[in-house]
Amino acid sequence: MSIDTETAARVAKLARIRVDDADLPALAQEFNTILGFIEQLGEVDVDGVEPMVSVTPMRLKRREDVVTDGNMADKILSNAPDAREGFFAVPKVVE
Amino acid sequence: MTDPTDLTIAEARDRLRARDISAPELTEACLSAAQEAGALNAFVHSTPDTALDQARAADERLAKGDAPAMCGIPLGIKDLFCTRGAPSQAASGILKGFRPEYESTVTQKLFDAGAVMLGKLNMDEFAMGSSNETSVYGNAVNPWRRKGDDTPLTPGGSSGGSAAAVAAGLCLGATGTDTGGSIRQPAAFTGITGLKPTYGRCSRWGIIAFASSLDQAGPMTRTVRDAAIMATAMCGHDPKDSTSADLAVPDFEAMLTGDIRGKVIGIPREYRMDGMPDEIETLWTRGREMLADAGAEIHDISLPHTKYALPTYYVIAPAEASSNLARYDGVRYGHRAKLDAGDGITEMYEKTRAEGFGAEVKRRVMVGTYVLSAGFYDAYYNRARKVRTLIKRDFEQVFADGVDAILTPATPSAAFGLGEMAQADPVEMYLNDVFTVTVNLAGLPGISVPAGLNDQGLPLGLQLIGRPWEEGDLLNTAYALEQAAGFVAKPAKWW
């Protein structure tokens, strides 16, 4: 299977990364190289094999469903490119 | 008196406890060595004030005679670790200016043990790379050079700054992280020791995520003993990481007896790659002989799915990365692109991510997006997860047959020149991790030990792979190998 520039553009859109039209053919070519390398997984007999969920079989720990942290809005906003009145600010989302 | 920056962690600990040297003296010696070493581009953010405060506090503990092994030991911290108040940007433009309000569990544990942070170390962007050439800070440079040739070489990656700093004597040890070989490959390229513990041994909390099912932190040091000391301080259960193992951490140093008589060492035939350079083949054979001479039993073994490890990795790691890196959207931290009139939120995301991420990171995020997209999820992602099960099963089988550790080369070559791979396609660079990536897929502990120099005078490493949770036993085998190899070479100072 081979990736064309249209597919490359769709993937870039899904990944929310702007790619100039002029760069799409080179990107598609790189995808094809990488996917060509990955294709060899098709040779492996995986009938009846479970996909790995966790590399170490372990039961995830549970904890009490209680608040353990909080009241630090200032710290959370301290790295924001644009924070106003205790909120993250973004361009207009709804009309 | 020897230069304090030449001390191992074990020697420095003993001298500090004997009050033979003070923690501030040792820290100042490292800070000035780091300052003179700008040409290596290993330290990318220096934190001298923090370092001296920590060193003075360590000295007080030492004076009271109640000091853990890492107390007063100057370390470099990979830029992937969030360190409170200090730049932590994973060598990415998208996290420019980010100063975390919290401390990663691993660095907190090191600081609780009295360790000193000199600064943050260079790396490949988001730990994606094998040569430290994808960093927003520019290349880190290997302190080693080929004989009679001053071509700048890569220190390896992604923990390239960590490897360069430890090898050049800018710090006594450094933290690294390893997703596909990022501790062990740079350790091999710079003639130092690098340990990747079992998945779940070190908490991932506060370490900027690349591929969460593979990422694991570990120590990079000059000796196996130092790796044991530093790993003891780094490991341990953390309720803030749900995959962190609730297991006691032994004193790894106390397990270094050097006695490996009767241990069974497996030599996997699938690691004998076509076109493997003679120097690697020779080193591997010598490693086998050294372990046999130390009393180990050597068995030829088979790990039949080895050849599928890299393609499996290049599905799973990008898939997880595409999900983990979705958080860099220009809203909560780091870079936000300048917007044009009329741009909405989607343009903000797309422009921010296009400007903030480098080429390799974009490539992997997009490959990950593709393999997870509707219609391809089963063919790529689920198939890779099934092959991963088989890769792990290969190891379980040989361990069940009585193998204690597996010996392989650490890398397919010695360090290469910076820029030498610029024209290569991405897959050629990925082949650097051919011997190390299986270990991450199977969640096992692995260690790279310097074992010799090639004809050009560059260090080469051997890798030992251990059973899950048996880092102590693995370190002991590595210790026996280190003693037999007697690697003492250091790079001649040119920086």
The verdict on A87 touching B (C-beta cutoff 8 Å) is no
The verdict on residue A37 lying in a domain is yes
The arithmetic mean of pLDDT across residues B287-312, rounded, is 98
Q: Which of A14, A18, A92 is facing B354, going by the closest CB pair? A: A18
- Asked if residues B360 and B426 have their Cβ atoms less than 8 Å apart, the reply is yes
> Which pLDDT belongs to residue A94?
76
Interface of A with B in 23-42 (CB under 8 A): 27, 30-31, 33-35, 37-42
- Comparing A63 with A50, the larger pLDDT belongs to A50
pLDDT in tens, B112-170: 999 999 999 999 999 999 999 999 999 999 999 999 999 999 999 999 999 999 999 99
Largest CA distance in chain A: 58
- Asked if residues B106 and B217 have their Cβ atoms less than 8 Å apart, the reply is yes
The verdict on residue A75 lying in a domain is no
ipTM value, please give it: 0.96
CA distance B135 to B138: 5
Domains contained in chain B, CATH given: 1-495 (3.90.1300.10)
- In a mutational test of the B interface, the residue from A2, A5, A10, A17 whose CB has the highest number of chain B CBs within 10 Å is A17
Closest residue on chain A to B389 (Cα): A52
- What would the two tokens of residue B160 be? 């390239």
The verdict on residue A30 lying in a domain is yes
> Which pLDDT belongs to residue A61?
83
The verdict on residue A28 lying in a domain is yes
**Which whole-number Å values give the CA distances from B14 to B3, B21, B139, B351, B375, in the listed order?**
15, 10, 35, 53, 60
State what percent of residues in chain B have pLDDT above 90. 96
State what percent of residues in chain A have pLDDT above 70. 98
The verdict on residue A33 lying in a domain is yes
The verdict on A84 touching B (C-beta cutoff 8 Å) is no
In a 3-state reduction of DSSP, which class is residue B191?
coil
Q: From chain B, pick out residues whose CB is under 8 angstroms from the CB of A31.
A: 366-367, 370
**How far from each other are the two terminal CA atoms of chain A, in whole angstroms?**
42
Pairs of residues, one from chain A and one from chain B, whose beta carbons lie less than 8 Å apart? 167
Whole-model pTM: value is 0.97
Count structural domains, chain A.
1
Which residues of B are identified as catalytic? Answer: 78, 158, 182
Distance from CA of A83 to the nearest CA of B (A): 9
CA distance B177 to B187: 12
CA distance B458 to B144: 7
The C-alpha angle with vertex B137 and arms to A80 and A33, in degrees rounded to 5, equals: 95
Domain, as residue range, for A30:
5-42
* DSSP 8-state secondary structure symbol assigned to residue B395: H
